[in-house]
Amino acid sequence: MAYLRVLTAVLVCSCMPLRAEVITVAVAANFQQPAREIVEVFAAHTGHRVVLSSASTGKHYAQIINGAPFDLFLAADRRRPEMLEQQGFDHAPRLTYAVGRLVLWSPDADQTAEGRLRSGQFDYLAIANPRTAPYGTAAREALDNLGLWQSVRDRLVTGESVTQALQFALSGNAQLALVARSQVGLLDPAGSRWLVSESLHQPIEQQAIALNGSPTTLALLRFLRSEESRTIISRHGYDPGPADTVLVDPVAPDENRP
């Protein structure tokens, strides 16, 4: 085993570029774990080092427009990348790297989560804040389309993020929570879950945007579409985005851009 590892190391080293670079990626808090696995593979292939900074997409956006030194932004929605693109971050087309799925989760397995929601047998339903969190917006749309929004409104509690919404249910204070499939996958099988149909809400698209035109940044952006990345992304409970997206290399880096 040991000589195999040495051999691998030699092979990997021999194909590395002479100057390995360090790039910094702002990653949405919900995507931190898959991102870690993806950049590990990327680093093994290319020899570049990737530093991940995790926070909410709203905070990252505020940091980026105030000059934060990130190279690539993996957002939790498509709104913020769109806004950045309009502000001149158009080094490469935006890329939908993952599509989130909404799950209704109940800590109690005695009754199905769906049955509980439809029959109204709960005190509180936790969702992420519809005004600020993409999963919250999707949750509101789904409840609207199920014709339940008005009847559950006064029993809604909102977390600042989808993580907090799950926490409300995990601690037993809320009996139901509309959360991300990527989170529920990590829980042990206790409880009851119901995958909310995609037709009930706008797709929860998570988009990536390059914040500069450096070849390494664009290489990592492209790598998000690779088969290896897509496997990791689906294993974590996301749909890996449309496969037909073609990313072309920018013709020449724009020298005039700061």
Partner 1 sequence: MLNDADLTALWITLKLAGVTLIILLLLGTPLAWWLSRTRSRFKFMVEALVALPLVLPPTVLGFYLLILLGSQGPLSGLLEALGIGTLAFTFTGLVIGSLVYSLPFVVQPLQAAFVSMGQRPLEVAATLGASPMDRFFTVAVPLAAPGFLTASVLGFAHTLGEFGVVLMIGGNIPGKTQVLSIAIYDHVEAMDYANAHWLAGLLLVASLLMLMAVYRLGRRYATVGPR
Judged by the rule CB under 8 A, the positions of this chain that interact with partner 1 are: 56, 58, 61, 123-124, 126, 129, 131-132, 156-160, 164, 167-168, 171-174
The tally of CA atoms less than 13 A away on the side-chain side of residue 183 is: 21
Q: How far is the CB of 232 from partner 1 (least distance, A)?
A: 29
Cβ atoms of residues 238 and 182 within 8 Å: yes
Handedness of CA 173, 175, 181, 185 (dihedral sign): positive
Cβ atoms of residues 109 and 188 within 8 Å: no
- Cα 27 to its chain centre, rounded Å, is 8
Q: How far is the CB of 171 from partner 1 (least distance, A)?
A: 4
Q: How far is the CB of 108 from partner 1 (least distance, A)?
A: 9
Q: Could you write out the three-class secondary structure of 65-134?
A: HCCCCCCEEECCCCHHHHHHHHCCCCCCCCEEEEEECEEEEECCCCCCHHHHHHHCCCCCEEEECCCCCH
Map residue 22 onto helix, strand or coil.
strand
- Between residues 122 and 194, which has the closer beta carbon with respect to partner 1? 122
- Between residues 129 and 229, which has the closer beta carbon with respect to partner 1? 129
- Between residues 27 and 174, which has the closer beta carbon with respect to partner 1? 174
Q: How far is the CB of 39 from partner 1 (least distance, A)?
A: 27
- Between residues 5 and 131, which has the closer beta carbon with respect to partner 1? 131
- Between residues 83 and 200, which has the closer beta carbon with respect to partner 1? 83
Distance from the first to the final alpha carbon of the chain: 49
Residue 161, amino acid: S
- Between residues 34 and 159, which has the closer beta carbon with respect to partner 1? 159
244 closest CA partner among 95, 141, 105, 140: 95
Place of tokens 């449309």: 242
Q: How far is the CB of 208 from partner 1 (least distance, A)?
A: 20
Spatial separation of the C-alpha atoms in residues 52 and 6, rounded to whole Å: 27
Q: How far is the CB of 131 from partner 1 (least distance, A)?
A: 5
Spatial separation of the C-alpha atoms in residues 71 and 166, rounded to whole Å: 31
β partners of residue 157: 126
- Between residues 52 and 156, which has the closer beta carbon with respect to partner 1? 156
Q: How far is the CB of 74 from partner 1 (least distance, A)?
A: 18
The two tokens of residue 133 are 């969190």
